[in-house]
């Protein structure tokens, strides 16, 4: 029996395939601000979740456009795992995370500790710790709490701060950095 299925390759599919093979050749940016303003042709994010055991490595932006399917994958990956609820993650937050990762010059994926939180999850965490904000940007899909084994909290925070976009919280005792697309500010938790 012969397989007669035909395959069609769209322009976007061709770009994705090219990007996946050319990612090693993608330029490295010394300044995250340029990266966030759209310099370069490809943006990618790679993370894993110790809570769910899932991982994601995706190119989410090519040639000045966000890839809708990749953003949907990121929305699902960064969901509130306690209630299996998703929201649209702010692409600016993803850009800040990706730019920070690029500045750190590592191939290690982020460990995501927290992405989107439902109000119920946020209230539960707030009852356990005074360090959880009542109106957390996690509830708006604008924040992520991230860790890297190969980099210190200070290194990660400095790279994120150099993006000059959003909030950066250092949580040294808990070994993670909070990054968000809210107003520019820094703090220590």
In angstroms, the CA 64 to CA 62 distance is 6
DSSP H stretches of helix in 25-131? 32-36, 68-77, 91-103, 119-128
Query: What integer pLDDT is reported at residue 110 of this predicted model?
Result: 98
Instruction: Give the range of the structural domain holding residue 136, as residue numbers without chain letter.
Output: 27-188
Query: What integer pLDDT is reported at residue 36 of this predicted model?
Result: 57
15 domain-assigned: no
The answer to whether residues 45 and 65 touch, using CB atoms and an 8 Å cutoff, is no
Domains in the chain, number: 1
Query: What integer pLDDT is reported at residue 130 of this predicted model?
Result: 83
Could you report the average pLDDT of every consecutive run of 10 residues in the chain (189 residues)?
42 48 37 53 94 96 94 98 97 97 96 97 92 93 97 97 96 96 95
Question: What is the CATH number for 142?
Answer: 3.30.1380
Instruction: Please state whether 129 falls in left (phi above 0), alpha (psi between -120 and 50) or beta.
Output: beta
Query: What integer pLDDT is reported at residue 2 of this predicted model?
Result: 42
Q: Which has the closest alpha carbon to 169: 121, 120, 113? A: 113
Query: What integer pLDDT is reported at residue 18 of this predicted model?
Result: 45
178 domain-assigned: yes
Is the entire prediction scored with pTM above 0.75? yes
Q: What are phi and psi of 15, to 5 degrees?
A: -60, -45
7 domain-assigned: no
22 domain-assigned: no
Query: What integer pLDDT is reported at residue 29 of this predicted model?
Result: 34
177 domain-assigned: yes
131 domain-assigned: yes
């Amino acid at each position: 029996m012969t397989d007669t299925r035909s395959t069609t390759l769209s322009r976007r599919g061709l770009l994705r395939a090219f990007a996946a093979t050319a990612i090693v050749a993608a330029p490295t940016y010394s300044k995250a601000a340029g990266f966030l303003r759209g310099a370069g042709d490809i943006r990618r994010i790679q993370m894993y979740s110790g809570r769910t055991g899932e991982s994601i490595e995706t190119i989410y932006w090519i040639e000045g456009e966000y890839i809708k399917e990749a953003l949907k994958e990121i929305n699902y990956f960064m969901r509130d795992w306690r209630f299996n609820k998703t929201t649209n993650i702010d692409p600016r937050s993803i850009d800040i995370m990706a730019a920070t990762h690029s500045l750190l010059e590592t191939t290690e994926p982020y460990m995501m500790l927290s992405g989107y939180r439902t109000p119920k999850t946020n209230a539960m965490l707030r009852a356990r710790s005074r360090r959880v904000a009542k109106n957390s940007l996690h509830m708006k899909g604008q924040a992520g709490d991230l860790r890297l084994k190969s980099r210190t909290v200070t290194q990660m925070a400095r790279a994120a701060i150099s993006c000059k976009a959003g909030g950066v919280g250092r949580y040294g005792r808990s070994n993670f950095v909070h990054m968000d697309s809210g107003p520019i500010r820094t703090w220590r938790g």
